[in-house]
Every structure is written in C-alpha cells, then in structure tokens.
Structure 1
C-alpha cells in the first residue's frame, strides 16, 4: 500500500469510531498546532482543518459549544466571527494532557511516590476525583489511596482546588526507598495498574502507524494537507494511550514494554511530517489579526529537537 492508501485507512478507521469524539480531537489540534502559535483561532479555520477527517461544521459547532460549557475554551466575538482560545483551567488540563507527549527525556526514578487519600470525600466527589486522577495515570494502591511515581504534589493541588475538594483530600509525597524494585512493589504495581491492557493499546497504536512510517521513511509523497492529517491523528491516538500511562520507571516495567516502541515510532513519524504539516497550517490558520504567527521556540524542542 502507498502512503496515501495508509492515510485513507487511518482516516476511515477514525471515522468508524462511535461515539466520534470531535471535542477530544479539537483539544489535540489545539495542543499540537494552535497553542504554539498564540493559542487563538477562528472557528472557520477549525472547520476547514477538521472536515477531511469527517468532522462536519455542525459537529465542530456542537463540540466547541460543549468545550465552552466544560470550561475548556472561551470565545471572543469580532464582528460576525468567533475566535476561540483555551481558558485558564483548559490550559492547565492541556499542559497535564500533553506533558508527556513530546517529552523524550526519561529521568531516573529515585523511588518517590505522590499519594492521594480520598477517604474523606463524599461518594460523588470521590468518584469524580478518582476518575480525573486515573486519567492522569494514577493507580489505586489501596481503597481510596491513589499513587503516581512521577507527578509532584504541587501538580495535583490545582485540580483539587478547581473541584472544590482540596480541604477534604490528603496529598503526600513519599520519601525515596532504598529498595526500588522489591518483589512486593512489583506485585503491587501489577495490581494497581492494568499493564496488559495498556500494552495492548500501545501495540494497536504501533500496528496502526508503523505501515505508514515504513512508506514515508522511503519517500514522503504526501501533500501538506495530508501531512497535517497524519500528524493530528498520530498525536491524537498516541495521546489517548499516554493519558492512561503512569510513566512507571523502567525498573518496574516488563523488558519488552510496548510503550518504548510506540514512543520511538511517534517521534520518528512526527519528525518526518511536521514541516510539511506546518506549511498547511501557515496557509489555513487565522485569528482576528490575520494568519497565526509561526510556532514558538518551544515547539522545536519536541521529541528531543525537530531541527
């Protein structure tokens, strides 16, 4: 199959998903392409970019309305046009969601854990916070006790404050332990995180995108618009898996962990297509002042450096 055939298959598979979560794809588009260019974009630009992926104008409007209700984005009217940017809470959630996507640095783990105790929350709030923490990669060490090996205590507090649960939640940072990979800890990790399901999700991602990478590694025959579509779907699908990944230290992961191969594949494919995709974005993104500015310097630090 050619690269174009592989792209058509990716788009087809995305369109077959039910429900088709256009709002999540819009957040991916903001994180990957719009935030590095100032963060505000005309609604018409979003519609034009998403239409080839099967997202109708009506669905874009509905999704943007929901994202506004959920405090992800905010609107600014200039004449008859609407321009959307991430809100303060939306930017915080974006930073948490995308923190690991482009990061290739694997800092050595020293044995610290962020622990969150939910036992003093009422049932409804406890359920909500537990779900939010799970989306950040937390695992359940014990009833009402959530743990993460990478996040710091200060990274959790804004979420709790936003949900009005800060006073009823206990957040601690454990001290490093001498034996980082004890038998008991390995067994606890297997109980607290569904690593088999996570590995299966990574394997599915690899099977989706590796054939396209193999074609493009020989020659990039895709147009700028097609490169943009690949890049958006690549980051979107990778981000969905990564959100559930607690980034456990290598010492606590299987030797053949699929997450390593998935990260390398995402990095390699992104590096091949990003410049061509940027050409398409240069021509099709607008804010109230005209075309969006070029990406900021941090953009080019993605995946260990794009240039």
Structure 2
C-alpha cells in the first residue's frame, strides 16, 4: 500500500471496509454538521455521503431510523426536509466529541467511581439497561451489583442516570485504597474486569491502516481536492470513533506501556490537522448550495485534537 496515491488509498479503503450508512451519517453529523449549527438539509447530507458510496435511498433510510431512535429531529419546509441533532441527544454527541478530540489525560488522582446497583430498588430490566449504558462508558462489574470505573466522569454518569429516568435510584460514591491496611489494591482489578486485548488489537489495526496514509500526506503524493480531504477526514474519524467505542478509557497509569491508544490518538491528530482546512472548504461549499447562510465552523471546532493550526 505504500506505493498508492491518496485517491487510490481512499478507493482501497472503501473497497476493503465500506462504512455502514447509518453509522457514517452519525459520523458526518458529529464531525462535520455539529460545528456548523447542527442542522443540514437532506439534499446536502446526501451530497456529503455520496463519495462514500452511500446512495440517497440509504441516506433517507438512515436519517429516518436515527430520528426514530431519538438521535435526530426532522423539520420540513415545503418539499424539503432538514435534520438537526435532537436536543435530547446533544449531551451524547458532545460526550462522543470529547472522547474523540480531547487530548488524552495522563493525570489520575487514584480515586474510583462506584455505582451500587445492588443497594437500590431497581428492577431486573432497569439494571440490565443501566449496566449496558455504563458498559459503553467503560464501566465494569467489579462485584455483584457493583459497577466501577477508575476515571468515571460525574457529569457523564449523571447524564446516563437522568436519561434512563433513574436519577436518585442507586448510590454513587468515590473511593480509593485505604492506606495502612492489608487490603488488595484496587488497581489489580483492571486485569480481571477489563479485557484489553481486543482494544489493543483494534488500535494496532487502526495504525496499520492509517499509518501509510499519513506517510502519503507527508510526502505530498498527489494534490488533494477539498472533497478528497473531506473523505479522508471523515474516514479517519469514523474508524477512530469505532475503535474508541470499545475502549474503557482507563487512566494511563493503569494501562500497559506503551499504550497503542496514545499512538493512535497522535496518528489521528496529525491526519486531521493535515486535512481539516481543505475538508472545511468542501463542507461549506455543499452546505451553502442549499443554505447560503450556513454558518462557518464555531470556535470550539478549532480546539479539536489540542488545537487546529
């Protein structure tokens, strides 16, 4: 693959691992639409998805299902439809963006966040839903009825409990090892409660696929068009987000070194920085074909990956 041009790399990637339409639409909304006001006309979304081999029929089906699932909200203006990130889903989009774009935080104060589902009046169905939602946030079952994470965000945990209508139902606490006791260190639970092998393999695969692309960008192997830059940026975020969904995001102090997730982040940052400006040209051109007043990316967009130059 090292002898490919960038357009050939794109074609090779799309042939080997074509993105699913609904998942790609979510990536486009999170990466390209949300900085521009969070709303897009259906025709513009269809145009943005076309270079990935996603037909207009698949886009229409995807946004319909995402609206049914509460991710998007639809609005009509005559015969045209626009889709916006649903207010109830904004917190989840923002949380996903923080996971993707914020620099990895190497500081850990030694505390763990525990949710005591066993000491609550929750029914079996409620416990199952809660366990599933917290698993996506990296929580593991440390003991029967005890879900824990060594770097749990109070804000994210509160959002999950509120969204599931479980606010105030289960005790939540912050704990740490008690000095001067013969207790077992909490950090030893990591190897038992989290299987990091698939996560490591996914990060290494990500590096194998996108490392050659970065080399091509550095060598300037063929001038990128704005549309090609948008495709590269979107495929990058789509693949990186897919790996991160299965990463429990444990503190660096509890992870094996060198941690391939840190290397994957640096790789993603370099490729994103190399393509974002040209990609934005394509996004604005497409958005303003249907909406001449479509806003430029907001200020927070330029904070991604530690700052875009």
* TM-score under structure 2 length normalisation: 0.90
Contact 1:6 1:212 in 2 (8 A): yes
CA RMSD of aligned residues (A): 2.1
The count of corresponding residues between Structure 1 and Structure 2 is 301
**C-alpha distance in structure 2 between counterparts of 1:257 and 1:58, whole Å:** 41
Measured in 2, the distance between the counterparts of 1:60 and 1:190 equals 41
| Structure 1: tracts of 5 or more residues without a match | none
Partner of 1:252: 254
- Relative to structure 1, the CA distance from residue 282 to residue 170 in structure 2 (aligned partners, 3 Å threshold; closer, same or farther) is same
The answer on 1:88 being equivalent to 2:87 is: yes
Per-residue deviation, residues 227-278 of structure 1 (Å, max 9, x unmatched): 1011111111111111222322222111121111100100001010111101
Q: Deviations over 1:178-212 (max 9, x none)?
A: 69xx9743431011111111101111111111111
Q: Residue 208 of structure 1 corresponds to which residue in structure 2?
A: 209
2:305 aligned residue:
303
CA contact (8 A) 1:42 1:287 kept: no
Runs of at least 4 residues of structure 1 off by over 4 A?
A: 175-179, 286-289
Report SS of the residue matched to 2:107: coil
The answer to whether residue 161 in structure 2 is matched with residue 137 in structure 1 is: no
Counterpart residue number, 2:76: 77
Per mean C-alpha deviation after superposition, the further-off stretch among 133-142 and 120-129 is: 120-129
Distance in 2 (CA, whole Å) between partners of 1:293 and 1:262 is 31
* Residue 162 of structure 2: aligned partner: 161
Q: How far, CA to CA, are the matches of 1:186 and 1:260 in structure 2? A: 20
Task: Give me the whole-angstrom Cα distance separating, in 1, the residues matched to 2:279 and 2:246.
Answer: 27
Distance change (3 Å), C-alpha of 1:275 and 1:112: same
Q: Which residue of 2 aligns with 1:36?
A: 35
CA contact (8 A) 2:110 2:150 kept: yes
1:286 to 1:40, Cα distance in 2 relative to 1, 3 A: farther
Q: Name the CA distance, whole Å, in 2 between partners of 1:242 and 1:178.
A: 34
In structure 1, distance between residues paired with 2:264 and 2:59: 30
Offset of 1:176 from its aligned partner? 7.3
Distance 1:123 1:8, change over 3 A: same
Aligned ranges for residues 198-237 of structure 1 at < 5 Å?
198-219=199-220, 221-237=223-239
User: Which residue is 1:128 aligned to?
Assistant: 129
Indicate whether 1:293 and 2:292 are aligned: no
- Does the 8 Å contact 1:282/1:291 carry over to 2? no
Do residues 273 (structure 1) and 275 (structure 2) align? yes
Matches of 2:218 and 2:197 in 1, distance apart?
30
Distance in 2 (alpha carbons) for counterparts of 1:158 and 1:77: 30
| 2:11 counterpart of 1:26 | no
Tell me: CA distance 1:287–1:266, structure 2 relative to 1, closer, same or farther (3 Å). Answer: same
| Mean Cα deviation higher: 55-64 or 115-124 | 115-124
1:149–1:246 Cα contact (<8 Å) kept? no
Partner SS state of residue 17, structure 2: helix
- C-alpha change, 1:191 and 1:35, in structure 2 (3 Å) is same
Runs of at least 5 residues in structure 2 that lack an aligned partner in the other structure: none
Summarize deviations over 1:33-62 as a string: whole Å, max 9, x none.
111111110011111111221211111111
1:219 Cα deviation after fit: 0.8
Cα separation, 2, equivalents of 1:161 and 1:5: 47
Task: Tell whether the 8 Å contact from 1:73 to 1:85 is kept in structure 2 after alignment.
Answer: yes
